[in-house]
Structure 1
Amino acid sequence: MTKNWERLGEEIRASRIALGCTQAELAAGAGVSRASVQNLEQGRSFKRTTPSMRAVTDFLGWPPQRLAQILETAPGVQARSPADEQAAAGGDLPARVSAALVNGSLLDAQVMELGGEAQVIVVVRGKSDASQDEIRTALERWQRAEKRLRNEGEGAPQGGGPRP
C-alpha cells in the first residue's frame, strides 16, 4: 500500500504552526536536523518510517499511532484529528477532565505504569495564546515534575511527547 507522505507533511506543518514553532525550533526540540523537518513537511517519500519522524511527532505531542494512521490514509480522505481521537477516548471521563483535554495547546503526554494493571496518564496543555517563552517555561516545569514522578514511580513512561 502506498504511504501518504504528502498528508504527513501537511499534518506536521499544521501541528508545528499551531505550536508556534519555526522549523529550526521543531528540529532542535526533536533532536533532528532542520533538513529532516523540511523533507517531512515537503511530503518527501521514504521507504519506511524513521526515528527522525518519530522524534518529530513525539515533540509535536502526537499519540504513537497517529503517524501510522496518517500514512495509511488514502489521498483525499480526511484522517481523524488528534481532537477527534481525544473526544472518542474521553467519552467516559468526567466533564471537567474532558473539557481540559481539548482546551489549549497540547505540550506533552505520558503514560506511566504504576505496576500491576494500573497506569497514570498525564496530559500537559498550555494556553492557546501562549508565547514561545511561556511554552518553553511550561515544558521546563513539566520536565522537572516528570523527573520527580519518575523517581517516585516504579515504571518508566510509555509513549512520550515533546522534549524542548
Structure 2
Amino acid sequence: MEKDWKRLGNFVRAARSARGLNQDELAELAGVSRATLQVIERGVGFTRIPASVFRLENTFDWGPGVVQDILAGGDPPTGERSSSASQPPMRERAFADGMPLRIAQELTEGEVVDTAVLDLSREGSGSSLVMILKRDDAENIDPEQLRRDLEVWKRAKRALHGITTESDDQ
C-alpha cells in the first residue's frame, strides 16, 4: 500500500499550529532538525518511516502506531491519549527524553530550587556534572526546612567541587 506522506505532512502542520508552535519550537521539542520538519510538513515521501516522524508522534502525544494509521489514510486521535494524564507536559517530556525513566520523572515533577554545573574535564574531556536541587512540595515549604535543605545542598556542592578539582595522582 502506498503511504500518503502529504496527508501526514498536513496533520503534522495542523497539530503544530493548533499548539501555537512555530517550526523551530516544534523541532526543538521533538528533537529533530527544522529542515527535517519542513520536509515532513511538505509531504516529501520516504522509502521507510524515519525515526524523526516517530519523535513527532510522541511529541504530539498521538500514541504508538498513529503515524502508520495516518500514512494509510486514517486520522490521528482528536484528543490526547488516555494515558497522557500521567505524562508530563510536552515541553518537559522533550527535556527529559533520552534520560533514564527515574531521572526523567524526577526532572518533570516538583520545582527546581537551585542548580550547579561542575566541570569534570581533564585534558581531552568535555564532561560536566549537572546537579539539580528540587522540591516536590515547594509551595508548602517550611522556611526553616528550606534553610536546612540549602545548607546540605551547599555542603554537597563544596564536597563535589573538591573532588572535581583534586589532581589525578591522589
Residue 19 of structure 1 pairs with residue 19 of structure 2: yes
Unpaired segments of 5 or more residues in structure 1?
Answer: 74-78, 91-100, 102-108, 110-120, 126-134, 151-164
Q: Quick one: distance in 2 between partners of 1:81 and 1:52?
A: 17
Matched, 1:60 2:60: yes
Deviations 1:135-159 (A, max 9, x none): 75xx37x969961499xxxxxxxxx
Per the normalisation by structure 1, the TM-score is 0.52
Cross-structure match for 2:105: 147
Distance 2:76 2:53 in 1: 18
- Secondary structure of the residue aligned to 1:82 is coil
Mapped partners of 1:23, 1:67: distance in 2: 19
User: Is contact 2:30-2:55 (8 Å) kept?
Assistant: yes
The offset of 1:72, in angstroms, is 1.0
Matched, 1:122 2:117: no
In 1, the alpha carbon distance for the partners of 2:19 and 2:56 equals 13
Matches within 5 A, 1:3-152: 3-73=3-73, 79-83=74-78, 109=84, 122-123=86-87, 136=91, 139=92, 147-148=105-106
- Deviation, 1:56, is 1.6
Shift of 1:59: 1.2
Distance 1:84 1:58, change over 3 A: closer
Give 1:40 deviation, angstroms. Answer: 0.3
Describe the shift of the 1:2–1:35 C-alpha distance in structure 2 as closer, same or farther (beyond 3 A). Answer: same
Residue identity matched to 2:72? E
Amino acid at match of 1:14: A
Corresponding residue number in structure 2 for 1:93: none
Aligned residues: 102
- Give the match for residue 148 of structure 2: none
Q: Is the 8 A contact 2:70 2:76 kept in 1?
A: no
Q: C-alpha root-mean-square deviation of aligned residues, in Å?
A: 3.2
Gaps spanning 5+ residues in structure 2: where?
97-101, 109-170
Instruction: Pick closer, same or farther for the CA change 1:55–1:84 going to 2, 3 Å.
Output: closer
How far apart are the structure 2 equivalents of 1:23 and 1:146? Answer: 25
What is the distance in 2 between the residues matched to 1:34 and 1:84? Answer: 25
For the residue of structure 1 that corresponds to 2:16, the secondary structure is: helix
CA distance in 1, matches of 2:58, 2:66: 10
C-alpha change, 1:149 and 1:37, in structure 2 (3 Å) is closer
**Superposed displacement of residue 84, structure 1:** 7.3
Tell me the percent identity: 35
